[in-house]
Amino acid sequence: MIFLLDTDTLIFMVRGLKSTRRPAQRRAAQQSTEQCRRTQSAGDSVGLAAITISALEFGARNSDQYEAEMAAGRRVLTPVAF
């Protein structure tokens, strides 16, 4: 089965993993990320549409912290070897 994450879900995960002031959001983002990784380890695929990746890049380029934004995005997007 293939799961496709939408832009809102991806941004929630990126923001949540960066959050230090909102522990509940951070936990929810970590759980979502772990669910994606468990899905992948079970043999299913988790993907993103090109427009979702473009939206992430656009948001990072328009922020004052481009490198930090892209690093956070990479942490979510990079698959983990099992």
Going from N- to C-terminal start, the domains of the chain cover 2-77
Q: What is the mean pLDDT of residues 23-37?
A: 84
pTM listed for this prediction:
0.66
Alpha-carbon gap, residue 56 to 54, rounded angstroms: 5
The pLDDT of residue 9 is 84
pLDDT of residue 73: 77
pLDDT at 82 over 60: no
Query: For the segment 1-13, what is each residue's pLDDT rounded down to a tens digit?
Result: 888 888 888 888 8
Supply 27's token pair. 């936990």
pLDDT at 33: 81
Whether the CB-CB separation of 18 and 59 falls below 8 Å is answered with: no
